[in-house]
């Protein structure tokens, strides 16, 4: 494409609106407008220049801020719809049929529609992920489209601008001056005091400060891209582990997702606030609400399998003791283990006594471990009890056979074979909680003595290698957004006019109020002509009123 | 006097100080001819002094309550909302010193007053922290997020002033309707505060048992006459009204009852005001906004978003993610409160892009600022009370 040659002699890239050096308007539109559009310095942006090939069209689509905003609004709306009813994740059922039934039962027809449309799993839906992808693309393309030409034109800008550029600024003033050269020197001194960088050239002055704030948006967009990239990485195996484990007091289990590590639970502790310790401060609240939980804690020991040990061997080394509490996960080797859930008082073992019905004489006691029961129990006087069948979660008798709902000992039941010197062939007895069944009348029986319970901790195991990348993205975003928000790029141009007077113009990307305050100081110090803010009609009127008084 | 009692008294002092300061700001605005002439008005100086006294006692409330409970007082609806009101006043004081415009105070303080009034309708006793909240991130995350939100809220105040000044209220228009709707919503909140206080003063209580959505028997206490009954309710208190209707298990009939009472009392209050003044309430407020400079209000609105947006990002998203990772094992879980924080953030991002690239200044920008405040309030009120999630502490 051909270059555009400005009257000042500078060759501008095709598509330029304002000459990079002198600021003369280059397009008919810019020449006719009263105020010049200073966004991106009127530089040539790819998206505004090339519109032919399919790549141009895609580029132009994503570089448009209008499209970007539409994507933001679409994400925002979809995200909001996702909060109308609880998401799948927070619903206590799983499986498609159960989910459908759950939404229908609790939320009626709207619930069914919500489920059918897939809104119950909104944030994993393909359209939501597509929208986020489009947002990322838009951020990259829109930034690249703008930052390069902006950088170039700010770098090439000349101190002396053409009057047609000055006249089209929002802040503009012109007027006669008794001694324009002195005024320029005075203004330069005052501007330097206000920490402007001042350049002069041939009766013209350009004062500029905080140009770096113009890069803020691009820095924060870079931060966002790094963040989104980090999220993308979590799909790669090994970058991200998310497992749950249930561990009983006294148990040692291998940690899912963390090869070679073992965790032993020593105790689960739950504490509530008590009236005594919480004294007068929390008394009212405890009175009103009842019980308030104070602490959930699992005391654990971490072991690591010995390096180089054979697969299948159980040689482990002690690593550390730790108390996992909410907000204080166990950390090791990039893994975090969190206290997430618990179940209290699961049956651990039951103790029984073998007695002769007629005399009540005892052969002694035996204890059945409910998760890992032994087959045989030797008792006194040559008696023994054989556990011929075990139903951890007894659920009644079906087709003449007792059944168990689950392997968890919620409601244990046993079939014991009692072998005594008097009955060497043994007698059979079915023992469940609060009931004993016998196939024929026995002489001996097994009595329940006591039960021991223990708690189970629900732990979550996480490893997330992307976290640091996400954090870096977040930090870069914060740097960029602060740089763009808390500093303003300000420029003030002062130059001698064609008829011996002075022209003053000012521009800032935001916070015009402060720019005007600074310009007022310079105006007073250097006796510059007064200026006008062409967007603030009201205060111009105010000033005139004050002048009249 | 114990620290807790001292704290409550300090809050009362600041509430009264804000009321008085509002009157003085009114005097400052009324006495001035225009924006240019009222910058250093004497009424304005008195008003800002009283505001600062109120703010200091408000901070005193915060500090003494912190000392009494041993944790930052931002752990339930009352504490959070009160702290939000405090920071709103703080943000106003900051912007007042940047721009010296009493008009902003005349509208910011009443909104802070309504927010504090709303806060005190929630249980006010000091509660101990549940395990999930026991972390210094409670202090860091909640305070930063509230600070960001309060600065963003100032932009809505400036936007409201801009709209009141610039919308022609003599002719019927969409703008006039929606502006009146915004004012009406504020009156609804006042209605809620008034009716709730009235029933509290009479000590009204009605107890019920009901079946919750997990089919468990539960108990509930109403502070308003029960218009709607919980699922399969049984009254435990004799001589209370019989609810009009029984609700299915997913609807919290108590919240619904409170909601209907507030709406009813709000509408009543609105109608009384309309009958007395015989004008839209917006038209009643318009003269107070007329002195403000539109360009300045636009700039304050924009500046507030510029200052508040990074603070909000840091507090409500970044710190929130770090804490969520410590407490819940994941930095992001699509919990409704998290989603609405993201929505707020996206909304203000759209606001900034519309302003920077599409030139949405003046009236459009003012409307957006007001909508932003509505989203923040929705996240505070509706998400906590209606859409239950991990963040529902009230």
| CB–CB contact B295 A539 (8 Å) | yes
**A232: which 2 tokens?**
């993308």
- Please give the Cα distance from A217 to A429 (Å, whole number): 79
Edge-to-edge order in the sheet of strand A435-437:
A376-378, A384-391, A413-419, A427-432, A435-437
Q: In this model, does residue B85 exceed pLDDT 80? A: yes
Q: Are residues A52 and A140 in the same domain?
A: yes
pLDDT of residue A542: 53
**B227: which 2 tokens?**
């218009």
- Residue A379 and residue A354 in contact, taking contact as beta carbons nearer than 8 Å: yes
The reply to whether B158 falls in a domain is yes
Between these two residues, A308 and A373, which has the higher pLDDT value?
Answer: A373
Q: Are residues A350 and A332 in the same domain?
A: no
pLDDT of residue B239: 75
**A296: which 2 tokens?**
């959930």
Q: Are residues B212 and B247 in the same domain?
A: yes
- Residue A59 and residue A47 in contact, taking contact as beta carbons nearer than 8 Å: yes
Q: Are residues A55 and A119 in the same domain?
A: yes
| CB–CB contact B295 A296 (8 Å) | no
The reply to whether A217 falls in a domain is no
* Segment A321-330, tens digit of pLDDT: 999 999 899 9
- Residue A465 and residue A241 in contact, taking contact as beta carbons nearer than 8 Å: no
The pairs formed by A144-152 with CB atoms below 8 angstroms and a separation of 24 or more are: A145/A45, A145/A46, A145/A47, A145/A59, A145/A63, A146/A40, A146/A45, A146/A63, A146/A218, A147/A215, A147/A218, A149/A13, A149/A40, A149/A41, A149/A43, A149/A44, A149/A45, A149/A46, A150/A40, A150/A41, A150/A43, A150/A214, A152/A20, A152/A43
For chain A, say whether B205 makes contact (Cβ under 8 Å). no
- The CB density around residue A273, as the number of other CB atoms within 10 Å, is 20
> Which helix H or strand E contains A130, and what residues bound it?
helix A126-156
The reply to whether B241 falls in a domain is yes
pLDDT of residue A545: 45
The reply to whether B369 falls in a domain is yes
Q: In this model, does residue A276 exceed pLDDT 50? A: yes
Q: Are residues A58 and A136 in the same domain?
A: yes
Q: Which of B260, B278, B296 is the last residue of a domain?
A: B278
**A517: which 2 tokens?**
């305050």
Give, as one character, the DSSP assignment of residue B135.
Answer: S
> Which helix H or strand E contains B139, and what residues bound it?
helix B136-166
Contacts of B349 in chain A (CB under 8 A): 72
A1 pLDDT band, cuts 50/70/90, is low
| CB–CB contact B310 A478 (8 Å) | yes
Between these two residues, B343 and A55, which has the higher pLDDT value?
Answer: B343
The reply to whether A481 falls in a domain is no
Q: Which of B233, B260, B278 is the last residue of a domain?
A: B278
pLDDT of residue A310: 67
- Residue A264 and residue A301 in contact, taking contact as beta carbons nearer than 8 Å: yes
Between these two residues, A394 and B248, which has the higher pLDDT value?
Answer: A394
Residues 134-173 of B with CB under 8 A from A: 134-135, 137
| CB–CB contact B126 A284 (8 Å) | yes
The reply to whether A36 falls in a domain is no
| CB–CB contact A545 B36 (8 Å) | yes
Chain A interface, mutation test: which of B162, B231, B339, most A Cβ atoms within 10 Å?
B339
Contacts of A467 in chain B (CB under 8 A): 325, 331
| CB–CB contact A123 B69 (8 Å) | no
The reply to whether A492 falls in a domain is yes
Q: Are residues A262 and A360 in the same domain?
A: no
Q: Are residues B348 and B273 in the same domain?
A: no
* Segment B257-309, tens digit of pLDDT: 888 888 899 999 999 999 998 888 888 888 888 888 888 899 999 999 999 99
Q: Are residues B207 and B287 in the same domain?
A: no
pLDDT of residue A490: 94
| CB–CB contact B130 A285 (8 Å) | no
Q: Are residues B144 and B201 in the same domain?
A: no
| CB–CB contact A542 B35 (8 Å) | yes
Q: Are residues A125 and A178 in the same domain?
A: no
- The CB density around residue B40, as the number of other CB atoms within 10 Å, is 9
Share of chain B above pLDDT 90, in %: 45
Q: In this model, does residue A547 exceed pLDDT 60? A: no
- The CB density around residue B130, as the number of other CB atoms within 10 Å, is 16
Rounded to the nearest integer, the mean pLDDT of chain B is 87
Q: Which of B278, B310, B343 is the last residue of a domain?
A: B278
Chain A interface, mutation test: which of B124, B295, B355, most A Cβ atoms within 10 Å?
B295
pLDDT of residue B93: 95
* Segment B98-129, tens digit of pLDDT: 888 888 999 999 999 999 999 988 888 888 88
Between A39, A75, A328, which is nearest B346 by CB? A75
CA-nearest of B370, B306, B21 to B162 is B370
- Residue B169 and residue B184 in contact, taking contact as beta carbons nearer than 8 Å: no
The reply to whether B69 falls in a domain is yes
B394 pLDDT band, cuts 50/70/90, is very low
Q: Are residues B269 and B316 in the same domain?
A: no
N- to C-terminal Cα separation, chain A: 59
Average pLDDT over residues B372-391: 77
pLDDT of residue B35: 55
Q: Which of A407, A429, A463 is the last residue of a domain?
A: A463
Q: Are residues B70 and B158 in the same domain?
A: yes
The reply to whether A32 falls in a domain is no
The reply to whether B213 falls in a domain is yes
- Asked which of A90-94, A538-542, B148-152 is least confident by mean pLDDT, the reply is A538-542
How many separate domains does chain A show? Answer: 4
- Of A37-41, B174-178, B249-253, B343-347, give the range with the top mean pLDDT: B343-347
* Segment A165-196, tens digit of pLDDT: 888 899 998 888 888 888 888 889 999 999 99
The reply to whether A235 falls in a domain is no
Q: Are residues B284 and B274 in the same domain?
A: no
Q: Are residues A152 and A177 in the same domain?
A: no
Q: Are residues B86 and B199 in the same domain?
A: no
Q: In this model, does residue A539 exceed pLDDT 70? A: no
Q: Which of A401, A429, A451 is the last residue of a domain?
A: A451
> Which helix H or strand E contains B217, and what residues bound it?
strand B217-222
The reply to whether B391 falls in a domain is no
How many separate domains does chain B show? Answer: 2
The reply to whether B390 falls in a domain is no
User: Where in the sequence is the domain holding B244, given as residue range(s)?
Assistant: 175-278
- Please give the Cα distance from B180 to B284 (Å, whole number): 11
* C-alpha distances out from residue B90 to A89, B23, B188, Å: 39, 18, 25
- Residue A355 and residue A261 in contact, taking contact as beta carbons nearer than 8 Å: no
Q: Are residues A139 and A53 in the same domain?
A: yes
**A&B contacts, CB < 8 Å:** 166
Q: Give the burial class of A493: count Cβ atoms within 10 A of its Cβ; 0-12 exposed, 13-18 middle, 19 or more buried.
A: buried
Q: Which of A451, A480, A503 is the last residue of a domain?
A: A451
In the numeric block, the tokens 């109403």 are attached to B222
ipTM, two decimals, is 0.88
Average pLDDT over residues A447-458: 87
In the numeric block, the tokens 């943000």 are attached to B91
Average pLDDT over residues B379-393: 66
Q: Are residues A57 and A131 in the same domain?
A: yes
The reply to whether B394 falls in a domain is no
The reply to whether A300 falls in a domain is yes
Q: Are residues B273 and B313 in the same domain?
A: no
Q: Are residues A91 and A151 in the same domain?
A: yes
Please work out, in degrees rounded to the nearest 5, the angle formed at the alpha carbon of residue A24 by the alpha carbons of A64 and A536. 70
Between B293, B340, B349, which is nearest A83 by CB? B340
Average pLDDT over residues B347-372: 90
Encode B6-26: b = buried (16+ Cβ within 10 Å), e = exposed: bbbebbebbbebbebbbebbb
Contacts of B389 in chain A (CB under 8 A): 90
- Of A117-126, A180-189, B13-22, B234-243, give the range with the top mean pLDDT: B13-22
Chain B interface, mutation test: which of A40, A78, A80, most B Cβ atoms within 10 Å?
A80
| CB–CB contact B339 A325 (8 Å) | no
User: Where in the sequence is the domain holding A185, given as residue range(s)?
Assistant: 172-210+488-548
List all residues 6 or more positions away from A104 whose beta carbon is below 8 Å from its beta carbon. A111, A112, A115
| CB–CB contact A106 B349 (8 Å) | no
Q: Are residues B216 and B122 in the same domain?
A: no
A26 pLDDT band, cuts 50/70/90, is confident
Q: Are residues B13 and B131 in the same domain?
A: yes
| CB–CB contact A293 B131 (8 Å) | yes
Q: Are residues B140 and B190 in the same domain?
A: no
Contacts of A469 in chain B (CB under 8 A): none
| CB–CB contact B330 A482 (8 Å) | no
* Segment A79-115, tens digit of pLDDT: 999 988 888 888 777 788 888 888 888 888 888 999 9
How many angstroms away from the CA of B165 is the closest CA of chain A? 12
Average pLDDT over residues B12-18: 95
Q: Are residues A438 and A500 in the same domain?
A: no
- Please give the Cα distance from A486 to A478 (Å, whole number): 11
Contacts of A120 in chain B (CB under 8 A): none
Q: Are residues A285 and A304 in the same domain?
A: yes
Residues 311-370 of B with CB under 8 A from A: 313-314, 317-318, 321, 325-331, 333-336, 339-340, 342-343, 346-347, 349-350, 353-354, 356-358
pLDDT of residue A548: 39
Contacts of B319 in chain A (CB under 8 A): none
Chain A interface, mutation test: which of B140, B221, B317, B350, most A Cβ atoms within 10 Å?
B350
Between these two residues, A235 and B273, which has the higher pLDDT value?
Answer: B273
The reply to whether A10 falls in a domain is no
């Amino acid at each position: 494409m051909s270059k555009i040659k400005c009257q000042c002699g500078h060759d501008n890239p095709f598509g330029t609106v304002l000459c990079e050096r002198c600021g003369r308007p280059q397009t008919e539109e810019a020449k006719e407008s009263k105020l010049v559009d200073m966004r991106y310095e009127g530089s040539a942006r790819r998206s505004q220049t090339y519109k032919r090939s399919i790549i141009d069209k895609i580029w132009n689509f994503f570089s448009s801020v209008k499209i970007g905003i539409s994507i933001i609004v679409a994400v925002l709306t979809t995200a909001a719809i996702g909060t109308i009813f609880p998401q799948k994740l927070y619903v206590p059922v799983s499986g498609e049929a159960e989910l459908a039934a759950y939404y229908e039962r609790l939320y009626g027809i709207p619930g069914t529609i919500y489920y059918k449309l897939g809104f119950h799993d909104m944030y994993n839906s393909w359209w939501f992920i597509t929208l986020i992808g489009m947002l990322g693309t838009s951020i990259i393309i829109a930034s690249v489209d703008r930052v390069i030409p902006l950088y170039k034109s700010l770098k090439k800008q000349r101190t002396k601008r053409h009057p047609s550029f000055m006249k089209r600024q929002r802040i503009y003033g012109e007027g006669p001056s008794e001694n324009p050269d002195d005024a320029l020197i005075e203004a330069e001194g005052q501007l330097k005091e206000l920490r402007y960088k001042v350049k002069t050239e041939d009766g013209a002055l350009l004062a500029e400060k905080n140009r770096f704030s113009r890069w803020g948006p691009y820095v924060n967009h870079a931060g966002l891209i790094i963040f989104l990239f980090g999220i993308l990485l979590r799909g790669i195996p090994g970058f991200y582990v998310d497992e749950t484990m249930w561990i009983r007091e006294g148990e040692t289990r291998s940690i899912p997702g963390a090869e070679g590590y073992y965790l032993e639970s020593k105790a689960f502790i739950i504490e509530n606030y008590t009236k005594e310790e919480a004294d007068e401060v929390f008394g009212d609240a405890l009175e009103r609400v009842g019980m308030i939980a104070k602490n959930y804690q699992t005391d654990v020991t971490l072991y690591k399998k010995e390096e180089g040990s054979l697969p299948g061997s159980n040689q482990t080394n002690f690593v550390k003791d730790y108390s996992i509490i909410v907000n204080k996960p166990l950390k090791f080797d990039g893994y975090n283990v969190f206290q997430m859930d618990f179940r209290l008082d699961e049956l651990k073992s039951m103790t029984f006594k073998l007695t002769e019905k007629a005399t009540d004489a005892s052969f002694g006691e035996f204890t059945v471990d409910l998760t890992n029961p032994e087959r045989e129990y030797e008792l006194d006087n040559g008696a023994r009890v054989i556990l011929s069948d075990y139903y951890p979660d007894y659920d009644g008798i079906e087709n003449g056979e007792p059944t168990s709902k689950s392997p968890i000992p919620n409601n244990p039941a046993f079939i014991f074979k009692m072998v005594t010197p008097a009955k060497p062939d043994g007698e059979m007895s079915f023992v469940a909680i609060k009931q004993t069944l016998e196939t024929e009348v026995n002489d001996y029986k097994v009595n329940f003595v006591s039960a021991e319970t223990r708690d189970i901790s629900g732990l979550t195991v996480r490893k997330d290698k992307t976290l640091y990348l996400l954090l870096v993205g977040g930090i870069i975003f914060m740097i960029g957004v602060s740089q763009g928000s808390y500093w303003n790029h300000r420029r003030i141009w002062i130059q001698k006019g064609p008829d011996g007077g002075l022209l003053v113009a000012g521009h800032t990307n935001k916070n015009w109020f402060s720019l005007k305050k600074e310009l007022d100081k310079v105006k007073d110090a250097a006796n510059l002509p007064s200026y006008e803010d062409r967007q603030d009609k009201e205060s111009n009127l105010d000033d005139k009123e004050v002048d009249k008084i | 006097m114990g620290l807790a009692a001292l704290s409550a008294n300090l809050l009362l002092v600041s509430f009264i100080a804000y009321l008085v300061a509002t009157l003085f700001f009114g005097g400052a605005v009324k006495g001035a001819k225009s924006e240019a002439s009222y910058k250093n008005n004497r009424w304005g100086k008195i008003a800002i002094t009283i505001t600062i006294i109120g703010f200091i006692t408000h901070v005193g409330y915060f500090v003494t309550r912190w000392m009494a409970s041993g944790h930052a007082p931002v752990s339930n609806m009352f504490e959070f909302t009160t702290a939000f009101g405090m920071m709103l006043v703080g943000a106003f004081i900051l912007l007042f010193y940047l721009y010296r415009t009493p008009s902003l105070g005349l509208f910011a303080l009443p909104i802070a007053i309504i927010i504090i009034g709303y806060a005190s309708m929630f249980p006010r006793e000091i509660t101990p922290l549940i395990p999930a909240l026991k972390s210094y991130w409670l202090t860091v995350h909640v305070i930063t997020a509230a600070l960001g939100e309060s600065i963003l809220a100032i932009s809505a105040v400036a936007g409201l002033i801009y709209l009141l000044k610039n919308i022609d209220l003599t002719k019927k228009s969409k703008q006039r309707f929606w502006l009146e709707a915004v004012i009406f919503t504020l009156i609804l909140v006042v209605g809620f505060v008034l009716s709730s206080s009235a029933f509290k003063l009479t000590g009204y209580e009605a107890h019920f048992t009901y079946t919750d959505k997990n089919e468990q028997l539960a108990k509930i206490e109403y502070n308003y006459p029960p218009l709607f009954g919980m699922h399969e309710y049984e009254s435990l208190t004799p001589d209370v009204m019989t609810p009009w209707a029984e609700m299915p298990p997913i609807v919290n009939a108590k919240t619904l009852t409170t909601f209907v009472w507030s709406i009813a009392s709000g509408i009543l209050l609105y109608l009384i005001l309309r009958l007395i003044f015989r004008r839209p309430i917006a038209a009643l407020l318009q003269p107070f906004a007329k002195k403000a400079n539109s360009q300045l209000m636009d700039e304050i609105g924009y500046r507030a978003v510029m200052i508040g947006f990074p603070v909000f990002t840091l507090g409500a998203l970044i710190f929130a993610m770090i804490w969520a990772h410590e407490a819940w094992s994941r930095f992001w879980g699509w919990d409704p409160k998290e989603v609405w924080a993201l929505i707020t953030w996206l909304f203000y991002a759209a606001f900034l892009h519309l302003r920077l690239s599409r030139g949405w200044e003046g009236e459009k920008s003012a409307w957006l600022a007001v909508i932003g405040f509505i989203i923040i309030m929705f996240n505070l009120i509706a998400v906590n009370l209606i859409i239950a999630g991990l963040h529902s502490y009230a």
